[in-house]
Copies of this chain bind each other. A is one copy, B any other.
């Protein structure tokens, strides 16, 4: 899930505007796939394009677009092996394909075909080509779920000997929400789902809006002495430095910024830092990785090494530490010439599309109080949020819709869904962290960050994630067996 979502209320919107203005020309170009350790494994897949309805829920628009999907069937046991179907989220599907090593690791054991389906309006799956951002009306999770359902039905019909292959949906983050919802809404199409780090309850009135940033804060508090305390102190220090021309100049230089800060950049600058800390909490993996950015192992520990001084050091000393800490995220490889406060490195995520989704269905309230978290207090203000969305896209978010259409807390009648969450992952705040029945299973990975279980096995993996993956495979086998005996 892109980080802008993790900013509270009105601030979020400022960042959105900033992003949209700043990133508009670069968005499409940012979708290139980066080299990462997982990619070095040389994953082989074939790329296909499916003629997908632009509008599943209306018939006057009868056009189709090319939905991209990737297939690997080298381990598939025809006629009986399952299909593991990744429900693509808000970005280029090749990126998720390369960052979902779990599926590649278990394909042989399960005799499974792997399919990675791209979400409409991201990557190459653009309903109106280069004009797609001008016609965003068909960008909804319901349309995306219908895409997945129609694609799966078609694959099972057209692939030789796939008719009886049970399909399991797998996804992480927003893709995990989609995996869970696909099982809820189309249980005829998938026999079960693994929803990893899927904050399906991060909607209005379902969970406290402050939990996300509380978890971010805990991650920093637990990673070094005074770490979260010094970050909490930094906002006032920044305010102080922003109040003089000399301070602005010093800050710009200290942070090695590409463009010098101006007085009016205060919100953006603090928002950029807040987003950086939140992103770090999401990707606090136990080994060197490159999900959003190339990072060292346990990156927050490395960040906090720069922030372990006393909590009464002068502003400039404090912010020197902050600038060193920020570079862990933005310049671990040492290749950054300067830092750009309008970019927070969100990998191959499609920011523009996600902004629109956040402004329509995916209203995920966030707030901070500065006490239980290390950020400046910011209440959740739906009206301001809605007004900004209207100014940006001409749409108003529907605050209650996700709860109505996806069941909110009332989902116990569904079945065969695993909800895995990482103890370190701030998105755990909106996740299902307690089992709801004997087939709606919650698994907590205490040392895990954002969908760690979906990544390749790694020598540094904590025992908890290794066991989680085993448990997940066990449930897959159970569902497959149930399905076979029901046929």
Contacts and interface: CB of A to CB of B under 8 A. Distances in A.
Interface stretch (A18-26, A116-124, A141-149, A222-230): A141-149
A193 to B, nearest CB: 12
Given A146-B405, A404-B186, A412 B486 contact: yes
Interface stretch (A310-318, A394-402, A460-468): A394-402
A404 B189 contact: yes
Nearest to A57: B57
A57 B138 CA distance: 8
A149 B405 contact: yes
A408 interface: yes
A153 interface: yes
A140 interface: yes
A396 B189 contact: no
Copies in the complex: 2
Contacts of A361: 59
Contact of A408 (B138, B146, B188): B188
A286 interface: no
A411 interface: yes
A266 interface: no
Interface in A459-487: 486
Contacts of A411: 187-188
A129 interface: no
A22 to B, nearest CB: 24
A160 interface: no
Interface bin, chain A: 35 or more
Contacts of A415: 413
Interface in A64-108: none
Contacts of A140: 57-59
A404 B153 CA distance: 7
Contacts of A138: 58
A60 to B, nearest CB: 5
A142 B413 CA distance: 20
Contact of A59 (B188, B398, B400, B403): B398
Residue picked from A56, A188, A395, most chain B C-beta under 10 Å: A188
A407 B137 contact: no
Contact of A187 (B61, B186, B413, B416): B413
A394 B58 CA distance: 12
A187 B138 CA distance: 25
Interface in A21-60: 53, 56-60
Interface string A345-382: 00000000000000111000000000000000000000
A478 B404 CA distance: 24
Contacts of A405: 56, 146, 149, 186
Given A59-B360, A61-B137, A149-B404, 17 more contacts: A53-B398, A56-B401, A57-B142, A58-B58, A59-B395, A59-B397, A146-B404, A150-B404, A153-B404, A186-B405, A186-B407, A187-B410, A187-B413, A187-B414, A188-B410, A188-B413, A412-B486
16 contacts: A56-B401, A58-B137, A59-B359, A59-B396, A59-B398, A60-B394, A60-B395, A62-B395, A149-B404, A150-B404, A187-B407, A187-B410, A187-B414, A188-B404, A188-B411, A412-B486
